[in-house]
Structure 1
Amino acid sequence: MKPVSFIPRFLVTLVAVAIACFIGWQLWVYYMDSPWTRDGRVRADVVSLAPDVTGPVVKVFVQDNQSVQEGEPLFQVDPSRFNLALAQAKAALAQAKAAESKAHATMLNAEQNAARYAALSNSATSAISRDDASTQSLEAKAAYEASQAATAAAQADLGVAELNLTRSTVRSTVNGVVTNFSMKPGDYVSRGTPVMAIVDTDSLYVDGYFEETKLRHIQVGDKAKVQLLQGGKPILGHVQGFAAGIADHERIAAPTLLADVNPTFTWVRLAARIPVRIAIDHVPTGTHLVAGMTATVEIEPNHKDKQK
Structure 2
Amino acid sequence: MSIASATRLALTLIVVAIAATLAYLLWQRYMNSPWTRDGRVHVKVLKIAPDVSGRIVAVDVKDDEFVHQGAVLFRIDPARFAIAVQQARANLDAAQAALQAAVANVEQSTAAIAQAQAGYAMRKRDAERLEHSQNAVSRQKLADARYRAQAAHAALRVAQAHQAQAQAAHAQAQAALDRAQAALSLAKLNLRRTTVRAPADGYVTHLRTYAGDYAHAGVVSIALIDSHDFWVTGYFEETKIGHIRIGQRAEIHLLDGTRLQGTVAGIARGIANSGGTTGGDGLANVTPTFTWVRLAQRIPVRIQIDAASLPRNIVLAAGMTATIVIKEHGARRRTHRTSEIAGSTT
- Which bracket does the TM-score occupy, shorter chain normalised? over 0.9
Superposition pairs for residues 21-170 of structure 1, below 5 Å?
21-120=20-119, 121=121, 122=124, 123-170=149-196
Shift in Å, 1:51? 1.1
Q: Are 1:198 and 2:224 an aligned pair? A: yes
Q: Are 1:241 and 2:266 an aligned pair? A: yes
Superposition pairs for residues 215-234 of structure 1, below 5 Å?
215-232=241-258, 234=259
1:281 aligned partner = 306
Partners of 1:63 and 1:182 within 8 A in 2: no
1:207 aligned partner = 233
Shift in Å, 1:134? 0.8
2:340 aligned partner = none
Q: Counterpart of 1:44 in 2: which secondary structure?
A: strand
Of the two, which has the highest radius of gyration?
2
Shift in Å, 1:263? 1.7
2:328 aligned partner = 301
> Separation in 1 of the partners of 2:114 and 2:83?
47
| Residues 99-130 of structure 1: per-residue CA shift (max 9 Å, x gap) | 10111111112112212322332312321221
**Closer, same or farther in 2 for the Cα pair 1:134/1:307, shift >3 Å?**
closer
Unaligned runs of at least 5 residues, structure 2: 125-148, 337-346
> Separation in 1 of the partners of 2:67 and 2:18?
57
Partners of 1:44 and 1:199 within 8 A in 2: yes
Shift in Å, 1:131? 1.0
Shift in Å, 1:10? 3.8
Q: Percent identity?
A: 42
Question: Which AA in structure 1 matches 2:161?
Answer: T
> Separation in 2 of the partners of 1:46 and 1:30?
37
| Residues 19-42 of structure 1: per-residue CA shift (max 9 Å, x gap) | 312421232122111000000101
Deviates more, 1:217-226 or 1:26-35: 26-35
> Separation in 1 of the partners of 2:179 and 2:210?
37
Q: Counterpart of 2:210 in 1: which secondary structure?
A: coil
Q: Counterpart of 2:316 in 1: which secondary structure?
A: coil
> Separation in 2 of the partners of 1:256 and 1:48?
42
Question: Which AA in structure 2 matches 1:256?
Answer: D
Unaligned runs of at least 5 residues, structure 1: none
Q: Which has the higher helix share?
A: 2
| Residues 174-207 of structure 1: per-residue CA shift (max 9 Å, x gap) | 3221111122211111111112211222221111
Partners of 2:242 and 2:334 within 8 A in 1: no
Query: Under a length normalisation based on structure 1, what TM-score does the superposition of the two structures give?
Result: 0.93
Match of 1:261 among 286, 291, 301: 286
Q: Counterpart of 1:202 in 2: which secondary structure?
A: strand
> Separation in 1 of the partners of 2:202 and 2:8?
67
Shift in Å, 1:169? 0.7
Query: Under a length normalisation based on structure 2, what TM-score does the superposition of the two structures give?
Result: 0.83
Tell me the matched-pair count.
Answer: 305
> Separation in 2 of the partners of 1:231 and 1:258?
51
Partners of 1:209 and 1:275 within 8 A in 2: yes
- 4+ residue runs over 4 A deviation: none
2:319 aligned partner = 292
2:297 aligned partner = 272
| CA RMSD across the alignment | 1.8
2:135 aligned partner = none
